[in-house]
């Protein structure tokens, strides 16, 4: 009989902003935005300090909007080399306890501590030790979620931020998933959440009442995932050194889309979400792919590659428009759209920082 897994999800608190406030005392206690300048065409918020978040500022928001919400906010250019160096220090702490580490970005990772190196045995004790080491050695705080699978651990890590530690044990997983609002399920976007609520699906308990076949009929293959996860079933292993091949987002619509204008509006929303994920993962790529699922459930994808790598919303949307213009969608009804970026460039972070340097200086 296999051991029940012990999974920790570590998520650093306002990572980029916290590193800046640690290294530069003049930023401490002030609303700080790490990202693009609000001048000119304006940049994008990579992250914001908790002082800035009180004004409603969040990642992937335009810097112009952030400045409007908090005119006194400080805008600072990201120092990716510094963040990567700190990330390596954080991972060195992780490796004291386990080598089963799956990084999601510079500031976020899954750890499988089912069999920890030090023989501690209790995942909560390990998570607390990791948090304490990060605080004492790096003067930063992290939040941790502890559970029996990746999905629940990730949700748990965000429940008591900042500097939180949340345990959802095996006996609590079922009740936890049943009370979880549908918008908190990973992969459920604004449109899908609204559609679910129109169907009377407000919580995991509501989803649990639906047969698997009905969930698949309404939400495609993601319906199978909903069926399993609401029952606490998530068999995905923690994958060390997992290479990200692509990042994508998609959504299913309550009413079929019949015009390219309607599709473009939805693709604009998806592009914003994709940019946020790319910024968090610090990835830049060359190939944009748009996915179409039609009313008869057939699927078609169209891709376009650029010479240089990128991850900004402007070029993503420009490429999406190009793909949409060339797509033959005559008399086709679209029930799902997706957009993704692939063909990643290992040096994408540095290239992007240099290219956008004039938009990311300190104010």
Positions marked catalytic: 108
**Torsion from C-alpha of 188, 191, 192, 195, nearest 10 degrees:** 150
- Rounded to whole angstroms, the Cα distance separating 143 from 149 reads 17
Long-range CB pairs of 221-230 (<8 Å, 24+ gap) are: 222/187, 222/252, 225/187, 226/185, 229/151, 229/177, 229/185, 230/177, 230/178, 230/204
Q: How far does Cα 82 stand from its chain's mean position?
A: 21
Q: Are 20 and 27 within 8 A, CB to CB? A: yes
Strand partners, 293: 299, 336
**How big is the CA angle at 243 (ends 239 and 249), to the nearest 5 degrees?**
95
Q: What is the sign of the dihedral through the CA atoms of 148, 149, 151 and 157? A: positive
DSSP helix/strand/coil, 278:
helix
């Amino acid at each position: 009989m296999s051991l029940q897994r012990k999974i920790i999800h570590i998520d650093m608190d306002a990572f980029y902003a916290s590193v800046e406030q640690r290294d530069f005392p003049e930023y401490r206690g002030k609303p700080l935005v790490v990202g693009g300048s609000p001048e000119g065409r304006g940049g994008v918020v990579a992250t914001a300090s908790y002082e800035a978040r009180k004004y409603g500022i969040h990642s992937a928001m335009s810097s112009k909007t952030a400045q409007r919400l908090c005119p006194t906010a400080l805008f600072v250019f990201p120092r990716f080399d510094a963040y990567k160096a700190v990330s390596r220090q954080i991972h060195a702490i992780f490796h004291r306890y386990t080598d089963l580490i799956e990084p999601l970005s510079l500031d976020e990772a899954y750890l499988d501590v089912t069999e920890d190196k030090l023989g501690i045995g209790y995942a909560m004790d390990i998570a607390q030790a990791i948090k304490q080491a990060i605080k004492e050695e790096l003067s930063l705080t992290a939040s941790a979620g502890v559970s029996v699978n990746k999905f629940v651990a990730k949700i748990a890590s965000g429940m008591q931020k900042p500097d939180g530690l949340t345990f959802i044990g095996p006996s609590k997983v079922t009740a936890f998933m049943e009370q979880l609002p549908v918008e908190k399920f990973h992969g459920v976007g604004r449109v899908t959440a609204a559609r679910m609520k129109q169907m009377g699906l407000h919580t995991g308990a509501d989803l649990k009442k639906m047969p698997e076949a009905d969930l698949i009929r309404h939400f495609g293959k993601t319906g199978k995932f909903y069926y399993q996860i609401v029952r606490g079933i998530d068999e995905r292993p923690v994958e060390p050194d997992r290479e990200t091949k692509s990042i994508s987002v998609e959504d299913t619509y309550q009413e079929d889309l019949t015009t390219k204008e309607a599709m473009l509006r939805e693709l604009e929303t998806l592009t914003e979400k994709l940019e946020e994920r790319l910024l968090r993962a610090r990835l830049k790529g060359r190939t944009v792919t748009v996915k179409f699922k039609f009313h008869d459930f057939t699927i078609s994808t169209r891709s376009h590659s650029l010479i240089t790598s990128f991850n900004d919303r402007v070029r993503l949307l420009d490429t999406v428009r190009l793909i949409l213009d060339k797509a033959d969608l005559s008399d086709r009804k679209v029930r799902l759209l997706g957009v993704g970026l692939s063909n990643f460039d290992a040096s994408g972070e540095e290239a992007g920082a240099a290219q956008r340097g004039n938009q990311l200086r300190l104010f």
